[in-house]
Amino acid sequence: MLWYASLIMLIETPISQDPENIRNRGVQEAKDAMVQYITSLKLTEKQYAELGENLAKWTSRIDLARSRGVHDLAKEAEMEVERITLKYTELEQEITALKAHIETLRQQLPALAAQERTIDPDLLEQELLIVTGHLPGEQAEAERALHSMEKDTAATAALKALKAKMNLG
């Protein structure tokens, strides 16, 4: 029974995320919200089932009181049925809303997961340079040197082509 009380305390704490605005949250926060909604849904469904049983019991009491001619008891039972029916309807609407929230979260989770950047390519590049024995700044210098060599090679090739043309002409 203690676990049930602690679970109810967990459920009675307000759910911090509106499922419509979960796009600003992280994946873990969205999953936590979904767990809260699902737990709340299960408890609400349990209350809904218990109220259904209670409603059937009071309806049968109305029939019993009427069959025995005790109309004042039948009237009290009818008032109890009205109260239970009102609560039953509220729980039904709450269940519908919770299911809608859960479905909204379920649809948004894949997009949230895709938005999260799990690997930083710059950090990975730096780590690879360190592992291969280079310093991160050395790569930029090596790229500049390679680029200048490519320019020199292109210029040399153009010069050779020009000399070849001049000797032919």
**The pLDDT value given to residue 100:** 92
Q: Which amino acid is at 135?
A: L
Residue spans of the domains in the chain: they are: 2-118, 122-168
**The pLDDT value given to residue 38:** 92
**The pLDDT value given to residue 20:** 52
- Alpha carbons 46 and 62: distance in angstroms, whole number: 25
Q: What is this structure's pTM? A: 0.55
More confident call, 101 vs 165: 101
Q: Output DSSP code: residue 25.
A: S
Q: Output DSSP code: residue 69.
A: T
Task: List the single range of 39-43, 66-70, 136-140 with lowest mean pLDDT.
Answer: 136-140
Confidence band (pLDDT; 50, 70, 90) for 155? confident
Confidence band (pLDDT; 50, 70, 90) for 2? very low
- Alpha carbons 41 and 140: distance in angstroms, whole number: 57
- Alpha carbons 75 and 71: distance in angstroms, whole number: 6
Question: Three-class SS of residue 2?
Answer: helix
